[in-house]
Amino acid sequence: MDDPVAKLQQKSHKCLVEIGGQVMLERVLEALIDSRCFDRVHVSVDRPDILTATPKMSAWVDEGRVVYVQSHGNLADSVLRAVETIGNALPLVITTGDNALHTPEIVRDFVRDFHASEADAIVGLTREEVVLREYSNSGLAFHRLRDGGFSSCNLYGLKTEKALNLAKVFESGGQFGKRHIRILKAFGLWPFIVYKLKLADVSGLLNVIGRRLRSDIEISWLDYPWGPIDVDHKHSFDLAEATLLGRAFPHQSAAMEQHS
């Protein structure tokens, strides 16, 4: 239990922490299922009992809507092993179990762009100014290029076999905005230079990365301020929980803002 979010409630896994009155993994799965974009959702995790931690999740497992997949090593290994386990997995949408603010709407918008794209892969991004219009203190580490700042929403679409090359970039653990050196390890020297010196806009950088990985990559621009906010630490937990409570009790939230 080394994860700082898991420690908040003494849970074995971060995804089992309750946020806004609901287990975080259940929230993520509910958004995916309610989007009606998928026949089933495969969850890569180390133990199958994680998926029966709540009655609702257990029911989804019994119905075959949620399926356990054994996780392996790092993120890249887990994605590649999941593809092997699922069989005929492509096209495939990937997200993470800590994006507690994702809704069916953001999922549907991403999947719409994914189906419309002819690229090997697509990544969901939100621009910095979109996030800042609601969250001035998000704590996000934005990527900044010639066309401004942006952050990933942890929504990725893989359409072809070539797109599986992109899974390998997560061997170092992702979190590129906070650890720029991982860009060098994942993509090589030239993409790292382009990124650090802002020699291109975001589409140009993805073209550089795509050529290196022999895959075409496109962007789904998602106009959701909370899209990139995942729950990584106490601050993002508090921010996400406040947002969820605001959704559940919008009139009370508006009254509190007016009073303040």
Q: Which CATH number fits domain 18-244: 3.20.20.70, 3.40.50.2020, 1.10.760.10, 3.90.550.10?
A: 3.90.550.10
Element (H, E) at 185: helix 181-187
Q: Is the pLDDT assigned to residue 5 strictly greater than 60?
A: yes
Question: Considering the chain, what is the average pLDDT of its residues?
Answer: 89
Predicted confidence band at 176 (pLDDT cuts at 50, 70, 90)?
low
Specify the pLDDT at position 248. Answer: 86
Specify the pLDDT at position 258. Answer: 45
- Give the integer Cα–Cα distance in Å for 185 and 180: 9
Specify the pLDDT at position 179. Answer: 53
Report domain extents, the chain.
18-244
**Burial, 246: exposed, middle or buried (Cβ in 10 Å; 0-12, 13-18, 19+)?**
middle
- Give the integer Cα–Cα distance in Å for 237 and 99: 10
Q: Is the pLDDT assigned to residue 256 strictly greater than 50?
A: no
User: Quick one: CA torsion of 247, 251, 256, 260, rounded to 10 degrees?
Assistant: 110
The string of pLDDT tens digits covering residues 90-142 is 999 999 999 999 999 999 999 999 999 999 999 999 999 999 999 998 889 89
Token pair recorded at residue 157 = 């679409």
Category of 160 on φ-ψ map: left (φ > 0), alpha (ψ -120 to 50) or beta: beta
Range of lowest pLDDT (9-18, 38-47, 68-77): 68-77
> Any long-range contacts for 3-9 (C-beta under 8 Å, 24+ apart)?
4/232, 4/233, 4/234, 5/98, 5/231, 5/232, 5/233, 5/234, 5/237, 8/234, 8/237
DSSP string, 29-91: HHHHHHTT--S-EEEEES-GGGGGSSHHHHHHHHHTSEEEEE--SSHHHHHHHHHHHHSS--S
- Displacement of CA 25 from its chain's centroid (Å): 12
Specify the pLDDT at position 259. Answer: 45
Token pair recorded at residue 162 = 């070539």
More confident call, 167 vs 57: 57
| Residue 163: partners with Cβ closer than 8 Å, 6 or more residues away | 90, 120, 121, 215
- Give the integer Cα–Cα distance in Å for 202 and 128: 13
Contact 28, 95 (CB under 8 A): yes
- Give the integer Cα–Cα distance in Å for 211 and 233: 35
Compute the C-alpha angle 154/155/157, nearest 5°.
Answer: 140
The string of pLDDT tens digits covering residues 79-88 is 888 898 998 8
- 250 CB neighbour count, 10 Å cutoff: 10
Q: How many residues does the chain have?
A: 260
Q: What is the pTM of this model?
A: 0.89
